[in-house]
Structure 1
């Protein structure tokens, strides 16, 4: 029993050290980690040695970073009091960072208009990627997955020597049963009850695959741009725009997925019961006003046009395009105000095509939320714009697959 408790403590401390290093804004030294975790300096040194040997962490450069050991100061050697307060002169502190190219995960994404595959390592670096534009609406799932297999194989063929791929994730635009690994419904693709894993087995082999909703995974990647690292805010509503609109809710950096994992379908919040029919079977859904196809069509643009063209037309004073944006803002204000009032999450992040035209939408959506949200008198609603990334779901899928290394590093270094 004592050995079991000791092993559990070691596992917990390894995870604590990994998360401390990966989450630091500035690469910390061993003494910095000891100060941040309240572990003794000798314990941290022993744990770091294991993590470096196991390929999760690496030491880089000399004393150019950190707080406990600053440039120009003499570091503290093992045998100090553990808090870095005193000790014998030793080697200068060496910053610790996530190892590059030693562990990675594969992120895959199926959109209505594209396929993507990305290999992301523990530092959050994209090591390889493949992306193709394709109209997949109404296609057979296995045809799309065969094309995705080709992309996945190309990316996996580019894995650097000495790099271990630990998992894979697949982002899909629809309602996903994450436990069963099944896509229940993707209205804009026209897919129902699809199991992706068997169709991708040829490319993935024994690599474990986690299937998730594209908006959820994009939101996760926004909150955590690299394993163990947080980006502010950590509490927000995320809108992911492609043909339609997906949504996700993040609280404390964790996805809020609901009882069955289907929470966040903000694109199908009704903003007008008498509005146009939606592919989901309802009417007047948000995505019928602010989805990419609906927005471009209302602006007099072809469905294949870039949202950047819409931006240009509005800047030129095009009345039709400006009216389309106003209608989208109105719909977004109505839908999001209801969500904010229910969830008390006054920060909204726009992704996908909504991010591409975010400068048109954000100020007026903020104003609409200011009028409609009950708590706006005390906390002003804010709209942020996510980086323009057409495969954000693939990145989020890979990052989530890597999270297991951060939470359970002992399982990796013990192999």
Structure 2
């Protein structure tokens, strides 16, 4: 009975530490009284939690807080700009990227590289990615930061609770387990193994997730609405070479039984239409994916060749459309129509607050939105009822094309925010050297 009570007390303490750290990260600098009011505890209850987070180096005192009317003013609290950081990585069809965010949510380092990943072996891609990871971890180390975890965004289906990419058609991958390769990329140098008990790199939490899901997470964490508060029920649509979607219900991702929810790109919009790499016909990706739009806009591979790399071909489409290229504008209009048809069923079924356009769609929104919204108005009850308060809105993502990468970094940081002082430790020191 005592052990059970102790486990419960430890769980409550851990959750309260998380609540305090999240409150300061969201609102800091903030007084202890402000933290107590935010999370619904007394000042006496908050005090030992704050002290523990100060000892751990996760919080710092920034100076005197304004008087609250009772007692002497205390010190304001903020999260430290040193300590653990979340590593995010993105594997795209034509690029790789890595970034690190600190506890304040600021990007402290970022690198990106062109990479022809289509039909490349996963091992070769991870070898290149490990070089970028090493560059970022070395860069943040000089600023007193170290990795707390790594999350990787991929354009494909990821088995729920695993690091296995079940199918990424635009990469040509099937049943690719990225876990061992990612763990090896973050392993400490041999001479540094067997350190003094600080959290080692080999034990870092690793996550592999669909890129649209992480884009939706970035929308939840970073917001994009005019008032700074993102919707809690929305469909996040992300498009590059392929098209994916993430469904958020009451602030939580709807993953599905196997983790495959959101495969919007393979929803048939024109049954019996163009053949798709998935084996079906008439899939959305064949009408609104990057290559489909380039083809429909009359841009040959040769014309687009000089615009490869992260967002390069999307930039070409946007530039041509802004210059009044009738063929490109027509192709983007047709892509918006196809998107509206594909999204209509989802909107009717789920009744979301918003449809959020991320990835390439964020940059191409001026030419895609009119036809997309028209189709939704024609095909959905909620969009057609324009007079009803709280009607469906179609908005451009705040993080836009950076969503999957930023979402990955913030997901990795969740390991610290969820369990700030692991296993009852009183301090968090950096791990041994990472190479």
User: TM-score over 0.5 for the alignment?
Assistant: yes
Distance 1:13 1:155 in 2: 32
Residues 298 and 61 of structure 1: CA distance in aligned 2, closer, same or farther (over 3 Å): farther
The number of aligned residues is: 390
Distance 2:106 2:423 in 1: 20
Aligned to 2:196: none
Aligned to 1:409: 420
Distance 1:180 1:37 in 2: 33
Distance 2:29 2:232 in 1: 22
Does the residue aligned with 2:13 lie in a helix, a strand or coil?
A: helix
Please, what TM-score do these two structures have when normalized by structure 1? 0.87
Aligned to 1:187: 169
Please, what TM-score do these two structures have when normalized by structure 2? 0.83
Contact 2:294 2:300 in 1 (8 A): yes
Contact 1:366 1:381 in 2 (8 A): no
Query: 1:346 offset after TM fit, Å?
Result: 4.1
Aligned to 1:285: 283
Query: 1:12 offset after TM fit, Å?
Result: 2.9
Distance 1:277 1:214 in 2: 24
Q: Tell me whether 1:31 sits opposite 2:43 in the alignment.
A: no
- Point out where structure 2 has 5 or more consecutive residues left out of the alignment: 188-201, 308-312, 427-435
Aligned to 1:158: 139
Could you tell which deviates more after superposition, 133-142 or 156-165? 156-165
1:318-348 CA-to-partner distances (Å, cap 9, x unmatched) read 3212221221111011001111111111411
Aligned Cα RMSD in Å? 2.2
Residues 389 and 343 of structure 1: CA distance in aligned 2, closer, same or farther (over 3 Å): closer
Contact 1:220 1:253 in 2 (8 A): no
Query: 1:270 offset after TM fit, Å?
Result: 0.7
Aligned to 2:376: 369
Match of 1:209 among 196, 206, 209: 206
1:179-224 CA-to-partner distances (Å, cap 9, x unmatched) read 2310111111111111112223332111331111111111111211
Contact 2:362 2:397 in 1 (8 A): yes
Match of 1:167 among 143, 149, 152: 149
Contact 1:146 1:200 in 2 (8 A): no
Matches within 5 A, 1:299-338: 299-303=297-301, 304=304, 305=307, 306-338=313-345
Distance 1:404 1:174 in 2: 24
Does the residue aligned with 2:348 lie in a helix, a strand or coil?
A: helix
Matches within 5 A, 1:56-71: 56-63=58-65, 69=66
Specify which structure has the bigger relative contact order, considering alpha-carbon pairs within 8 angstroms and separated by 6 or more residues: 2
Distance 2:15 2:180 in 1: 35
Query: 1:413 offset after TM fit, Å?
Result: 6.2
Contact 1:184 1:193 in 2 (8 A): yes
Distance 1:202 1:256 in 2: 31
